[in-house]
């Protein structure tokens, strides 16, 4: 049975990969609709022929890597179960430590290390791809440093998750998912609160904005939006990327307005103010809190589905996967595979909600700055610096885009610009 499951899993993964290769490289329609040709949303108006070709090449490969990497994680966890590695890690933990908490930590370390090594080739290919197309400016040593930070941060959070989840399962095999969800509410709020001041600085250095004249303009904009900001922060990202970004993050007293130095270097002040007005809209319209609410709602449903599926799968194929009981830590790879699967399945919904919020933020920025032309120039530069597809294939948009496409954003701003000019006549 284990060989049969393994064979069909590999067969499915290969077929899945071939489908997306065919779809992305031969079938997907990315040509600009006729009505947009020659408009400011037409990439031919702001990208040269080489940039257009590079954007198309880069996007195809990057999208293909995305669609390969997610199901690869499911296949990996499945084979960890089928080959008895999960059982072996449990034994190593029990032989190496006396206390259960340490045993769980050792088990999780070996599981995390296996997953990291197995997925490293895809991560490295993604890194070299961005270097080849001059998106990334990061050295291999700096990239590995971030990778190791990622490993240990993820290990720390996952260890806390494992300890709590399996303690709850041992206490109540019927309601553990509900208790886990109750605990996730304060935990999610806590992480959102500390992220700007504890987690983000692990990867980058944040300093007050050096351009005080620009900071004053941004803070004036924040004041108009009733955002209680006293400082604007800049982060040195030029050592890592040529891409542009800015954001408002955190909740409560830890809220931060952040600009990448690449954005400061490549955008004019008016364009930066448009970007900041867009980001402030997320704060004004409570998108951070809405996002937390949606995340908690989906996690409630997701935890219940995982609870049901784990009992069904273990009852039917427990012997094949070498899982005795759900409360056995050997069931963790199954749980992680199901979590990853549910994230993937729910991404079209969450992306749709996010695209709606981003569209609202664009409209807010137009209303706040009364400068849609700066917005158009900004999005053109964003597309140019990141080699972004202006009109991505439909499946890519559904699963990958949490922002409207550049075609949609620029076209809407162009319409706003026309209306503004007509009203001024």
Task: Residue count of the chain, please give it.
Answer: 425
- For range 192-206, the mean pLDDT: 79
The Cα-based distances of 285 to 203, 226, 282, 347, 357 in angstroms read 28, 11, 5, 22, 9
Return d(Cα 169, Cα 173) in angstroms, integer: 5
Tokens of 119: 């997925």
pLDDT digits (tens, 9 = 90+) for 88-144: 999 999 898 888 899 999 999 999 999 999 999 999 999 999 999 989 999 999 999
- For range 201-225, the mean pLDDT: 85
- For range 403-421, the mean pLDDT: 90
Predicted confidence at residue 225, as pLDDT, reads: 80
Annotated binding site for Zn(2+): 278, 282, 358
Contact 129, 98 (CB under 8 A): no
Burial class from Cβ neighbours inside 10 Å (0-12, 13-18, 19+) for residue 61 reads middle
The yes-or-no verdict on residue 248 having pLDDT over 80 is: no
Q: Which residues are within 8 A (CB) of 288 and not within 5 positions of it... i.e. 6 or more apart?
A: 192, 248, 249, 251, 282
Predicted confidence at residue 23, as pLDDT, reads: 95
Tokens of 72: 């690869």
Cα atoms found within 13 Å of the Cα of residue 57, Cβ hemisphere only: 11
Predicted confidence at residue 410, as pLDDT, reads: 94
Return d(Cα 334, Cα 350) in angstroms, integer: 24
Annotated binding site: 278, 282, 358
Predicted confidence at residue 254, as pLDDT, reads: 67
pLDDT tier at 253 (50, 70, 90 boundaries)?
A: low
pLDDT tier at 85 (50, 70, 90 boundaries)?
A: very high
pLDDT digits (tens, 9 = 90+) for 215-238: 888 888 888 887 776 778 888 888
Rg of the chain on CA atoms, in Å: 24
Predicted confidence at residue 183, as pLDDT, reads: 92
Q: Which residues are within 8 A (CB) of 356 and not within 5 positions of it... i.e. 6 or more apart?
A: none
Query: Which residues are annotated as catalytic?
Result: 279, 362
Q: Which residues are within 8 A (CB) of 228 and not within 5 positions of it... i.e. 6 or more apart?
A: 255
Q: How high is the mean pLDDT of the chain?
A: 89
pLDDT digits (tens, 9 = 90+) for 282-338: 888 888 889 889 999 999 999 999 999 999 999 888 888 888 888 889 999 999 999
Question: Which of 159-173, 259-273, 411-425 comes out lowest in average pLDDT?
Answer: 411-425
Return d(Cα 322, Cα 396) in angstroms, integer: 37
The yes-or-no verdict on residue 252 having pLDDT over 70 is: no
pLDDT digits (tens, 9 = 90+) for 19-34: 999 999 998 888 888 8
The yes-or-no verdict on residue 72 having pLDDT over 90 is: yes
Predicted confidence at residue 376, as pLDDT, reads: 94
Strands 256-260 and 232-235, by their bridges, are parallel
Predicted confidence at residue 57, as pLDDT, reads: 92
Return d(Cα 204, Cα 235) in angstroms, integer: 7
């Amino acid at each position: 049975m284990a060989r049969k499951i393994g064979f069909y899993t590999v067969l499915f993964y290969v077929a899945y990969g071939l489908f997306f290769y065919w779809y992305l490289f031969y079938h997907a329609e990315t040509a600009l609709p006729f009505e947009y040709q020659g408009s400011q949303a037409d990439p031919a108006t702001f990208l040269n022929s080489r940039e257009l070709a590079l954007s198309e090449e880069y996007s195809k490969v990057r999208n293909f890597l995305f669609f390969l990497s997610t199901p690869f994680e499911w296949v990996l966890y499945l084979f960890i179960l089928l080959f008895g590695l999960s059982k072996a890690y449990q034994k190593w933990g029990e032989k190496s430590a006396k206390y259960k908490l340490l045993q769980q930590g050792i088990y999780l370390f070996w599981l995390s290390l296996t997953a990291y090594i197995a997925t490293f080739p895809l991560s490295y290919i993604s890194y070299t791809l961005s270097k080849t197309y001059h998106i990334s400016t990061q050295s291999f040593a700096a990239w590995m440093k971030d990778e190791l930070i990622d490993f240990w941060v993820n290990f720390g959070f996952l260890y806390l998750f494992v300890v709590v989840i399996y303690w709850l399962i041992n206490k109540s095999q019927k309601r553990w998912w509900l208790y886990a969800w109750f605990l996730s509410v304060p935990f999610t709020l806590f992480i959102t609160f500390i992220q700007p001041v504890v987690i983000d600085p692990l990867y980058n250095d944040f300093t007050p904005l050096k351009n005080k004249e620009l900071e004053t303009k941004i803070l004036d904009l924040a004041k108009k939006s009733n955002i209680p900001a006293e400082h604007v922060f800049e982060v040195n990202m030029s050592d890592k990327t040529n891409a542009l970004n800015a954001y408002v993050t955190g909740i409560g007293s830890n809220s931060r307005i952040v600009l990448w130095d690449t954005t400061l270097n490549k955008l004019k002040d008016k364009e930066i103010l448009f970007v900041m007005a867009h980001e402030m809209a997320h704060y004004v319209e409570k998108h951070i809190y809405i996002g937390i609410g949606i995340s908690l709602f989906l996690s409630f449903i997701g935890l219940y589905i995982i609870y049901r599926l784990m009992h069904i799968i273990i009852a039917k194929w427990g012997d094949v996967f070498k899982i005795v009981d759900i409360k056995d830590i050997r069931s963790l790879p199954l749980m992680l595979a199901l979590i990853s699967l549910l994230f993937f399945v729910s991404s079209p919904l969450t992306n749709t909600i996010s695209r709606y919020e981003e569209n609202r933020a664009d409209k807010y920025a137009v209303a706040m700055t009364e400068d849609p032309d700066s917005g158009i120039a900004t999005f053109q530069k964003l597309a140019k610096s990141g080699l972004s597809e202006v009109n991505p294939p439909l499946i890519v948009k559904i699963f990958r885009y949490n922002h409207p496409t550049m075609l949609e954003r620029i076209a809407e701003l162009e319409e706003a610009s026309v209306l503004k000019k007509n009203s001024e006549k």
